[in-house]
Amino acid sequence: MFLGLDLGTSGVKALLVDGEGRAIGSADASYDVSNPAQGWSEQDPSDWVAGVKAALSALKSAHPKAFGAVQGLALSGHMHGAVLVDAAGDVLRPCILWNDTRSHVQATTMDSDPRARAISGNIVFPGFTAPKLAWVAENEPEIFARVSRVMLPKDYVVWWLTGRFATEMSDAAGTAWLDVGGRAWSDDLLTLGGMEAAQMPDLLEGTDVVGQVQSARADLGLPKTCKVIAGGADNAVAACGVGALSEGQGFVSLGTSGVVLTGRDSYAPLADSAVHTFCHAVPGRWYQMGVVLAATDSLNWLSKITGQSATALSGALGDTLTVPGAVKFYPYLSGERTPHNDAAVRGSFTGLDVATDASTLTSAVMAGVAFALRDSFEAIKATGATFETALAIGGGSQSDYWTEMLATVLNIPLERPDESAFGAALGAARIAMCGVTRANPTEVMTKPPVANIIHPQTNLVQAYEDAYAGFASAYPTLKAMP
């Protein structure tokens, strides 16, 4: 048996699989995000530990025999977060999350140095880890002076499980401290960020063994021989879960953030496009992706405003996709990554009138997110990647209406896999399998069976194309707004 843990922004999912990769059981636990100031997003690492404990306890209770046979586990985790610990391993402040944009000034300063893009292969975005530490150095110097180690979110849990400070290539690639082509910490980038190599965790490949679960975690009920495998960043691990390792293998994710991703067999960055080029969670491969910071997060925001659940809002639209409405939504609730690299731009509705109701707003939010994903889609295609089809994953892809809208906006068929609900948790379990058995990832991380294919509505493609053109042209106006 093997365990995959997906440490998400809003909760953790634990998936138990057998030696053939078949799901035996799953469990979830949720936690909160704190937004203490505009553009800030933080989380208490102890909440992740509590979530992992709760999810594992639920799995153990439901499947005691299988749980007792677990040979290895691996984690997927949300990227870029800055967990700062002192020499004793105590957390110094709440983790600054991936969608926190407070360090936009520091990111711009770092990005202005030609070495940053040349070595990392990426723009230094405000959400990346390095500018977060620069912000702490400038604004919380007493904390910065005590920083012994910096960890990514999943790696904090790995340290809690094993006692070892370690990370792996796919998460490290999102720090702006890594030589992404060389797959090693860069002394030049560390110096640029005011950091030292001694503050960095051990650097492994995603399928490498970190160590065994330490005796202090015996209360989890895992076998003493259970190995912890390094794992990977959420999108890289999700790609492992759907077999997107190589050229032409990709997916579109409607999760908290939105992602368009494709595997690459070689390192081919194009930083100026605002497309991320990162190491994959398996050795010798990379991937490229465009990121929308607020995808289902936009619908969840509308849910809070209206007092209706996201499921209720989506269900009220019915089953038949309609033409884009007059009300437009721009999903820049936390700024935007691809293609704008703009931490300051903010979301907006336009075209509101007295007849606007909740369903109109819901349709506008879904369309705005789809158009933002189209922006990333076009940016990745500009690097030479091609998409004849793509897998649709993430919680939002469970909505037939939203997935059909997205297929129509992208004008390609979208395939929904059977295991779409497991996503990165399945990818993490597959990484655990490869880490323990040393199996070839290409033999384990295969494309899952396709449950159904959502085709573009050909009679609506042009209408959505015209609406997308209007969406894309609106950014300069939004950027100029105070």
Amino acid at 384: G
Catalytic annotation, pick one of 234, 297, 342, 375: 234
C-alpha torsion sign, points 442, 435, 209, 45: positive
Q: What are phi and psi of 363, to 5 degrees?
A: -60, -40
The answer to whether 16 and 26 have CB atoms below 8 angstroms apart is yes
437/444 Cα distance (integer angstroms): 11
434/307 Cα distance (integer angstroms): 44
Chain position carrying tokens 């586990």:
73
Q: Is 234 a catalytic residue?
A: yes
b/e map 382-420, b = 16+ CB within 10 Å: ebebebebbbbbbbbbbbbbbbbbbbbbbbbebbbbebb
Q: How far from 133 is each of 96, 103, 128, CA to CA, in Å?
A: 9, 9, 10
Q: How far from 139 is each of 106, 136, 145, 473, CA to CA, in Å?
A: 11, 5, 12, 37
317/401 Cα distance (integer angstroms): 8
Which of 136, 137, 200, 131 has its CA nearest to residue 171?
Answer: 200
> Which residues have a catalytic role annotated?
234
